[in-house]
Structure 1
Amino acid sequence: MEQLNNAFTLFLSLLVEAIPFLLLGVVLSSVLLIFIDERWLMARMPKHPILGAFAGSCIGFLFPVCECGNVPVARRLIMQGVPIPVAIGFLIAAPTVNPIVIWSTWIAFHDRPEIVVLRVLFTLLIATIIGCIFSTQTDLKPILQPAIALGTIRSAPKVSTGYSLLDGGDFMLGGAGAAPLKMTQELMQPPKRSLRANVNLVLDNVIQELRELGGVLVLGSAVAAAIQTLTPRELIVSLGQGPMLSILVMMLLAGSISICSTVDAFFALSFAATFTSGSLLAFLVFGPMFDLKSIGLMLSIFKPKAIFYLFAIATQLTFLLTLFVNFHVS
């Protein structure tokens, strides 16, 4: 009974710490639906592979979406003819390199600022490298789903679906109640919305994202509390102190738990006393890039072979960088 009480207490504490950042991230990304002119921004993205990948990795500062929202945004970027390094850089980095996530990481690890800095630097580095690698793919048909590849051919810069890049994941991926994606002349220019329509758009997006992310947050907090209280302390310590094993364990946990990047720092904080710095960074860097739900969403853009390459490269780079931290920084 005491273990159950401790688990419930830890569960509630994780939720109390994380919910404000989840709400802030959802509201901010929804408000940006109105104020960001993504077409103007995309037209000014650099064409050079390295600069493009780096610029795409930094777009998260303007589009603070988590790993639930970055996929539909990246999908629209690709279909609007944005260079593939820019889209890949955004896809990999946006869930981490944005002000909400950086702030929440600082709140969780304010006494260990190197965690905050290295999380951002490693994510930017990995996203830029992957974007550059994929820039060598001049023919996108082998890596994109047929419908997306066709859209890149049919989409000139003047063509738009009329929907914002920041529309929610289910909306752009054809989920329940989603509007069909049409490449028609009547949708070439986005409709002008009244103030009331803008407010309704923001509220609808907030509700949708809270519905999508709230359940994941509750599940992730419950799993973290259960692991911390029900798993034998000796086992946790043995897994958390090995320089290599601890990284692999936290990467596996990050991929399976699928917790939102807006609040994953508080999840990682519960392991800070027993796991190495490198393993905590592995969780914070790798989780927003690849987890079960994001892989499922990526299948709407890329063919499985391309996702395998993305996953393999991100896994190796994350492991090597965080292993360096364990041996030379910790």
Structure 2
Amino acid sequence: MEQLNNAFTLFLSLLVEAIPFLLLGVLLSSVLLICIDERWLTAHLPKNPVLGAFAGSCIGFLFPVCECGNVPVARRLIMQGVPMPVAIGFLIAAPTVNPIVIWSTWIAFHDRPEIVILRVVFSLTIATVVGCIFSLQTDLQPILQPAMALSTLRSQPKIPTGNSLLDGGDFILGTAGMAPKRMTQDLIQPPKRSLQANVNLVLDNVVQELRELGGVLVLGSAVAAAIQTLTPRELIVSLGEGPVISIVVMMILAGSISICSTVDAFFALSFAATFTSGSILAFLVFGPMFDLKSIGLMLSIFTPKAIFYLFAIATQLTFLLTLFVNFHVS
């Protein structure tokens, strides 16, 4: 009975800490639906593969979306004709390299600033490297779904999938990778919306994202509380102290839980006392990159083979960087 009480207390504490950041992230990303001019952005992105991948990795500061919203934005970037390194860099780094996630990570690990700094540095590094590797693929047809490959070959202006880069993922997922019916010349330039229409758009997006992300947050908090209180402490300590096994365990946990990057720092904080610094970083860096919820959306952009290579490279880089932390920094 005491274990259940402890688990429930930890569960509530995780929710109380995380919910404000979830609300802030959802609200800000929804407001950006009506504030960002993506045409200006795509016109000023660098064409150099390295600079493009790095710039794409930093676009998260303009689009503070978590891994639930980065795929639709990356899809739109590709259809607007931006270089592939830019889109790949954004796809991988945006859920981590944005002000809301950095702030929430700082609140959770304010006494360990190296966790906050290395999370950003590792995410930027991995996103830039993967973007540069994918830039070597000059023919995009083998890595893109047919509809996406066709859109990249069309003359400018590229036909968008909606009125904003931050269109919700449900519409795209529902198309199953096929060209949406509303892709017509009339929608190349989105119509101006009234104030009431903008307000409705923001409110609808807030409700949708809270419904999707709130459930994941509750589930993730429950899992973290259960693991911490019901698993024998000796087992947790033995797994957490190993420089290699601790990283593997936390990467598997990150991929299976798929908790939103806006609040995953509070989840990781519950393991900070028993797991190595490298494994905590592995969870914080790898989790936003490998999200089970977004794989269906990614299949609307890339072929399964391309997704496999993308995750394989990101997994190896995450493991090597965090292993270096365990052996040389911790």
Q: What TM-score do the two structures reach when normalised by structure 2?
A: 0.97
Identify which range, 143-152 or 111-120, moves more after superposition: 143-152
- The CA deviation at 1:297 is 2.1
For 1:305, the aligned partner's letter is K
Identify which range, 208-217 or 260-269, moves more after superposition: 208-217
Instruction: Tell me what 1:141 maps to.
Output: 141
For 2:234, the aligned partner's letter is E
Instruction: Tell me what 1:122 maps to.
Output: 122
CA distance in structure 2 between the aligned counterparts of 1:122 and 1:92, rounded to whole angstroms: 11
CA distance in structure 2 between the aligned counterparts of 1:247 and 1:310, rounded to whole angstroms: 19
For 2:68, the aligned partner's letter is C
- The CA deviation at 1:169 is 1.3
1:122-144 deviation digits (Å, cap 9, x = unpaired)? 00000000000000111111001
Q: RMSD value over aligned CA atoms?
A: 1.4
Residues 161, 184 of structure 1: 8 Å contact kept: no
Query: Matched residue of 2:282: which SS?
Result: helix
Query: Matched residue of 1:174: which SS?
Result: helix
The share of aligned pairs that are identical, in percent, is: 88
1:153-198 deviation digits (Å, cap 9, x = unpaired)? 235235434420101111333279xx94532111111010111111
Instruction: Tell me what 1:212 maps to.
Output: 212
Is 1:39 paired with 2:25?
no
For 1:301, the aligned partner's letter is I
Instruction: Tell me what 2:186 maps to.
Output: 186
For 1:105, the aligned partner's letter is T
Instruction: Tell me what 2:170 maps to.
Output: 170
Instruction: Count matched residues.
Output: 328
Instruction: Tell me what 2:103 maps to.
Output: 103
Instruction: Tell me what 1:80 maps to.
Output: 80
Residues 161, 181 of structure 1: 8 Å contact kept: no
Structure 1 unmatched ranges of 5 or more: none
Identify which range, 151-160 or 294-303, moves more after superposition: 151-160
Structure 2 unmatched ranges of 5 or more: none
Residues 76, 160 of structure 2: 8 Å contact kept: no
Residues 27, 206 of structure 1: 8 Å contact kept: yes
1:192-235 deviation digits (Å, cap 9, x = unpaired)? 01111111111011111111111110100010000001100000
Residues 70, 90 of structure 2: 8 Å contact kept: yes
Give the 5 Å matches for 1:2-13. 2-13=2-13
CA distance in structure 1 between the aligned counterparts of 2:126 and 2:9, rounded to whole angstroms: 37
Residues 162, 189 of structure 1: 8 Å contact kept: no
For 2:182, the aligned partner's letter is K
Residues 55, 89 of structure 2: 8 Å contact kept: yes
Residues 53, 88 of structure 2: 8 Å contact kept: yes
For 1:23, the aligned partner's letter is L
- The CA deviation at 1:298 is 1.2
